[in-house]
Amino acid sequence: MTRTEHILVVEDDPEIGSLIDKHLSTNGWKVSRVRDAAEMDRILSNARIDLVVLDLMLPGEDGLSICRRLRASGTVPIIIVSAKSDDFDRVVGLEVGADDYLAKPFNPRELIARIRAIFRRVEMGSVVPVVSGKRLSFENWKMDCTLRQLLNPKGAEVPLTPAEFDLLHVLCERPGRVLSREQLCDLAQVSGQSGTGRNIDILVSRVRGKLEAGGASYQFIRTVRSGGYEFVAQVMAH
């Protein structure tokens, strides 16, 4: 018998919390709803939670602090929902470990779709912690995040533009995880007219070309149909 996924909603607004609870329950998920970090911790200590829907503006410990703490102690998927909708808050939310970010007000159908997408990735084993460090390596390639240099297995530098380096860095930090074009725009801080899905595609194509020219033995960046892109090599932090 298939186990029903258990979703924890951390939301202090009773009207919004009730609305989220209703829609998630209607779609067959088990839902627990709490108002702050203390109540959340009590639930987490007594039940297995498969995903957390987390508001940012909470009484006491705020959502970013909670997100950072949850990510430091485990890999439970986190979707931030917040009235803070500017790019800075989206980027910070994703950088501290959230798997997705949805600005209020939002269509409940979109939240449900994003939850389903995360559960699909969980089933494929692609929800993983961020690999962080000043130096990263994959398949004998070396990335110096301080000097912003990429060296191929022969030790030769592969020239990357700032945007190309940022994109590759974001992908390398999240190996095995499918990142949508929107997430790549946010995490790589691709803004303005360049921050579109089409331009992300072009940027990925350029990075692939430079990796191939530098001696890549296979295509490190995989295109996921209707999903985005995934870095498929194993990455180590140093």
Residue spans in the chain of domains classed CATH 1.10.10.10: 135-237
Question: Right CATH number for 135-237 from 3.40.630.10, 1.10.10.10, 1.20.58.340, 1.10.3720.10?
Answer: 1.10.10.10
- The whole-angstrom separation of Cα 171 and Cα 169 is 5
DSSP string, the chain: -PPPPEEEEE-S-HHHHHHHHHHHHHTT-EEEEESSHHHHHHHHHHS--SEEEEESS-SSS-HHHHHHHHHHH----EEEEES--SHHHHHHHHHTT-SEEEESS--HHHHHHHHHHHHHHHHTT--------SEEEETTEEEETTTTEEE-TTS-B----HHHHHHHHHHHHSTT--B-HHHHHHHTT--GGG-SHHHHHHHHHHHHHHHHHTT-SS-SEEEETTTEEEE-S--EE-
What is the model's pLDDT at position 195?
46
Contact 130, 118 (CB under 8 A): no
* Residues whose CB is less than 8 angstroms from the CB of residue 15 and which lie 6 or more positions away in sequence, other chains included: none
CATH 3.40.50.2300 in the chain is located at 6-123
Per-residue pLDDT of the chain (238 residues; tens, 9 = 90+): 456 899 999 999 999 999 999 999 999 999 999 999 999 999 998 888 999 999 998 999 999 999 988 887 777 889 999 887 666 677 777 777 788 888 888 888 889 988 988 887 676 554 455 777 889 999 999 999 999 999 999 999 999 988 899 999 999 988 888 888 888 887 877 654 444 567 888 889 999 999 999 998 889 999 987 778 889 998 998 8
For the chain, what is the largest distance between any 2 Cα atoms, rounded to a whole number of angstroms?
59
Q: Which two tokens stand for residue 161?
A: 């533009």
One-letter identity of residue 120 = R
Which pLDDT does position 95 carry in this prediction?
77
The fold for domain 6-123 equals: Rossmann fold (3.40.50)
